[in-house]
Amino acid sequence: MRPLLIKYMLYLCAWLPLPLLHGLGWLVGWGLILAPNRSRDTTAVNIALCWPELTIAGQRGLLRASLRETGKTIMETGALWLRRGERTLGLIRRIEGESLVEGAVEQGRGLILVTPHLGAWEVAGLYCAARYNITCLYRPLKMPELEELIQTARTRMGGSYVPATAQGIRILYKTLARGDTVAMLPDQEPQAGTGMFAPFFGVPAYSMVLLGRLASKTAAPVIFVWCERLSWGRGYHLNFSLAHAAVHSTSLEAAVAATNQTVEDCIRECPEQYQWSYRRFRTRPEGEPFLYTKRPG
């Protein structure tokens, strides 16, 4: 019943104009601010950990802004997934830094595009799929009933998604060896035993090592891409920027730290639009306590 309800909501939202969706998302965000819920709890913990330099009032302001943006993310998803791809990409009002990508492609060593959970990452992914025919890793959903819908949505303009398995990783290496483009999300916790701890806003975070390994072994350029959500439903602003050079380091520790630092640099451009509701610090170094409220759901 729940997957069916979600599908109905996604299709309904796909018919609504973006300003209305973002207005409704603003209201959803206020609901998250006012009612006790896990998103609010997690966002508060993450902001307190990552922005200790802010006053209490400043942290509360960022919390409220972040949850309003979370509401917009929820409400815009159906439109970004289910409308014609050309219409979705038409919402991009400005693109900065794409010359970096064009220069990297000309090198012929393949290209690694990295998309953090910042702003409208679905728009960034769709643009890169359409323009650069990306091959991207994905994790199976907890709701398999939605798998076909999401796969169709994300590949409707090109690109392909491969499972985050040993076979999928081999496909990434082969794609780069051909001089083609791969893409990945850098800021989710990897499976137990497959990552390492590295600083993220000064806090140890269990982090993926795959990007560092790909970069050092293939010498493929690494470029970050993120999509800022403009106010009042005006559309989106797409940004490309170079990763820190140490992402290519043969020291895996240095490469992972550089990955997290580049994610952090992107977030500082638009901190309220980062996915602070994700339990980024769920896994702790041995001996450290669990950081989040153990609320159901």
Extents of the domains making up the chain: 89-273
Strands 181-184 and 195-200: what pairing? unpaired
Count CB-CB contacts under 10 A for residue 267: 23
- How confident is residue 295, by pLDDT bands cut at 50, 70 and 90? low
Cα→Cα distances 64→19, 23, 75, 83, 132, Å:
20, 15, 17, 29, 36
Give the Cα-Cα-Cα angle 12, 15, 17 (nearest 5 degrees): 125
Percentage of the chain exceeding pLDDT 90: 89
Mean pLDDT for 214-221 is: 96
Count CB-CB contacts under 10 A for residue 244: 18
User: To 10 degrees, what angle do helices 18-34 and 38-50 make?
Assistant: 80
**What is the pTM for the complete model shown?**
0.95
Express each pLDDT in 158-196 by its tens digit: 999 998 889 999 999 999 999 999 999 999 999 999 999
The two structure tokens encoding residue 222: 């690494």
pLDDT > 80? residue 205: yes
